[in-house]
Amino acid sequence: MSAEGWLHWVKTLVFWLFMAWLSRLVFLGRSWDVYRHYEIWALLSAFWAGSSLDLSTACYLTVLQMLLCIPLAFAPGTRAYIRTWLLVQTILLSAAYFILCLTDSELLRKWGNRINDQVFIYLEHPREVMAFSSGTPWTAIFCWFLAAMLPAIWIYGRLKRMRFFMLKPAPWNNLSVRYGLLLLLFPLGMRGGVGTVPLNQSASAFSNETQLNILAVNTFWNFGYYLSNGTRTINFSQFYCCSEAEEQRAISFLYPRDSVRKVLCHTVRPNVLLIILEGITAKASQRLSGTLNCTPNLDRIAAEGFSFRQAYAAGDRTDKGLATLLSSWVPQPWHSVLHEPEKAARMPSLTATLAAAGYQTLFTYGGDIRFADMKAYLMASSFRELYDQADYPASQQNSKWGAHDEYVYQKLLEQLRGRSKPWFGALLSLSSHEPFEVPGGSLKGTETEKFRASIQYADRCLGAFMEQAKKEPWYRETLIVITADHGHDIGLNPGHSFHPDLFHIPMVFTGGALNEALRGTENTETISQAHLASNLLIQMGMKPLPLPYSTWFDGNSDYAYYAFNSGFGVVRDSLSMVGENQPLRRTFLKGSTPGHQLDSMILTLSAAQQFWIKKYRDL
């Protein structure tokens, strides 16, 4: 391990950082017709916003070159060729960098996105790919490629000849320490630091403009992400069982609509506050389920407001819950659509509709908002203000995930004071998330006991917030919706791994804008959280989101359809069923159905799954 070798890898890392900016500049130049209407400061901001992905890519490529050099380093008589081998590697990887970059630019101009899973799927059909690319300006692209490679090679040569100032020898500056620090930097750079949330595409999101966020994403990192995390290996044909007409019949059956409904608010355009409780199941509520008594404050709020006893989540994780609550999106039976930011950015949203109507929009969270690619989705959904872990002092970041609920509610109160109306705010709590901790020390007992204790803490924080909110000037004109992102097992042994009880969540309407005639009442009809956004918009005299929904407040019970990673479920007053795709299995948990009706119900639910998967693929 020589000083020259150590310095070489430092220079290599610096070179790949230069390459990240150069490739982004080439991408911008080739896609200038897309970006020419943006101000220069916004374009420059994209270069800075992508720095964490740039560093991650630089670390990955430097480590790759290190690994490729190992055979030559130990083989006799080959060490003299290492310098040449490194130059060949660098030229080939640089060429790949720019090929990916120019491919991205062409895709953006034609499809509106960069390389993603859809591209890998299309590559399985070479004839169609050739037909698609027949009109591509290959001469112009080749000129851009040469124009990019020449400065890249020049920069590499200049860096290799450059002599860096070396500090005088010191105990902390010996060669072993230098190599140790360098090797420590690589995994930290690849992962994006030591925080709870590893690096994802949301790390580069900085704007409500999707195209600017696309510019900030590193080309090589984006390619590697979809290469390793894409859905191209999924056999979509296994989900297709029905005709399009059967799909539409299933949607009409599962999502009935009615023009007669209760009036929710005393004003047409209230402020709206959506409080999303992390993983809090309705089974924790005595009032909403008659089961446990872990949420006395939520029960009191429900008794003073208007509540649903049979509300169900459409998914099983936070990222799926956000897409469902804000975009009426029913999850597909694999990862959340939020993990594909370009698809997520195309979904309609409650936030965007309200922002277009003149609403101020803000989202408050106590953890790292990049978690599960939430940041990119929230910004694309037109949340103009985002508050997360970075906005709390270190003294308040007393949870593994960030700031506990009491501080998150305090932050929300601060943000809302003096705010002109109308506004739409959303808060996502986190204290009831695993590992189930509360301020003042770790919880004792089993996981179930810890979960229940964390719910009790979260409930106290909610109760304190509501008492303070009633004193605020904005309360009179505000509709507050309290629900959860998803349900959770609370130790009641439902008897099936994907039983509807695990998706049972609270849904409570309160606030000063709530219609006085609804206070103290509850509704026992079955509803899905997926229909919240459209029903709120209808109540506010706006068009619902362009996705299927059921009409609430009409006294008719609906089906609540939900999805998990290997299937789907449905629940209604007299019926609940779980359908698993692998292994193929349909289990009726409640209700008796004649044979011919059983076949019809299974076909209906399978058609609904097919409908939502096709919607996902069309994004």
The whole-angstrom separation of Cα 241 and Cα 219 is 37
The answer to whether 380 and 113 have CB atoms below 8 angstroms apart is: no
The residues facing 438 across adjacent strands are 441
pLDDT for res 78: 60
- pLDDT surpassing 80 at residue 184: no
The 10 Å Cβ neighbour count of residue 99 is 14
Q: Do 515 and 479 contact (CB within 8 A), yes or no? A: no
**Does position 165 have pLDDT exceeding 80, yes or no?**
no
Query: What's the chain's length in residues?
Result: 619
The answer to whether residue 2 scores a pLDDT higher than 60 is no
Interacting residues of 227 by C-beta distance below 8 A, sequence separation 6+: 120
How confident is the model at residue 77, as a pLDDT? Answer: 59
* Helix 51-74 × helix 219-229 angle, to 10°: 80
Per the DSSP assignment, residues forming a β-bridge with 21 are none
Compare 54 and 134 and report the one with higher pLDDT: 54
Q: Considering the chain, what is the average pLDDT of its residues?
A: 85
Coil vs helix vs strand at 527 = strand
- C-alpha torsion 228→233→234→235, nearest 10: 180
CA atoms in the 13 A half-sphere facing the CB of 85: 15
Higher pLDDT: 227 or 595? It is 227
What confidence category does residue 6 fall into, taking pLDDT thresholds of 50, 70 and 90?
low
pLDDT at 231: 64
Supply φ then ψ for residue 96, to 5 degrees: -65, -40
Q: pLDDT tens across 318-343, in order?
A: 999 999 999 999 998 887 888 888 88
DSSP string spanning 382-416? T--EEE-GGGS-GGG--SSSSS-HHHHHHHHHHHH
| pLDDT tens profile 435-479 | 888 887 667 888 889 999 999 999 999 999 999 999 999 999 999
Whether the pLDDT of residue 25 is over 60: the answer is yes
Q: How confident is the model at residue 178 (pLDDT cuts 50, 70, 90)?
A: low
DSSP conformational letter for 133? G
User: How far are the Cα atoms of 405, 410, 415, 474 from residue 419, in angstroms, in the given order?
Assistant: 22, 15, 8, 8
Q: What is residue 595's predicted lDDT score, i.e. its pLDDT? A: 55
**Token code pair at residue 170:** 């010191």
Which of 126-130, 228-232, 282-286, 355-359 is predicted least confidently? Answer: 126-130
Q: 299 pLDDT exceeds 90?
A: yes
- Alpha-carbon distances of 42 from 35, 214, 215, 251, rounded to whole Å: 10, 12, 10, 42
Residue 151 has pLDDT above 80, yes or no: yes
Identify the weakest region by mean pLDDT among 1-5, 268-272, 298-302: 1-5
- Residue 123 CB coordination number (10 Å): 11
Structural domains of the chain sorted by starting position, each given as residue range(s) with its CATH number in brackets: 3-229 (no CATH), 247-548 (3.40.720.10)
Neighbouring C-alpha atoms within 13 Å toward the C-beta of 469: 26
| Structure-token pair, residue 579 | 């359908």
Place of tokens 């804008």: 513
> In the numeric block, which tokens belong to residue 419?
């705010």
What's the rounded Cα separation, in Å, for the pair 532 and 397?
A: 32
* Other Cβ atoms closer than 10 A to 26: 23
pLDDT at 167: 41
377 vs 439: which has the higher pLDDT = 377
3-state helix, strand, coil in the chain (%, to 5): 55, 15, 35
Structure confidence by residue, pLDDT tens digits, 73-106: 666 656 667 778 888 889 999 999 999 998 888 8
- At 399 the three-state DSSP class reads coil
How far is it, in rounded angstroms, from Cα 34 to Cα 37? 8
Say what the pLDDT of residue 594 is.
53
Question: Exposed, middle or buried by CB within 10 Å (0-12, 13-18, 19+), for 307?
Answer: buried
List pLDDT tens digits, range 97-149: 999 998 888 887 766 667 766 566 556 545 545 544 555 788 888 899 999 99
pLDDT in tens, 391-443: 999 999 888 888 999 999 999 999 999 998 899 999 999 999 888 888 876 67
Question: Strand 575-580 relative to strand 567-572: parallel, antiparallel, unpaired?
Answer: antiparallel
| Greater pLDDT, 498 or 410 | 410
Beta-bridge mates of residue 265 = 514
Instruction: Please choose, from the candidates 522, 603, 537, 535, the residue with its C-alpha nearest in 3D space to the C-alpha of residue 255.
Output: 535
The string of pLDDT tens digits covering residues 542-573 is 999 999 998 887 766 678 999 987 788 889 87
Q: What does the pLDDT read at residue 434?
A: 83
Q: Do the beta carbons of residue 226 and residue 393 sit within 8 Å? A: no
Residue 173 predicted with pLDDT over 80: no
CA distance 332 to 613: 6
> What pLDDT, on the 0 to 100 scale, is given for residue 464?
97
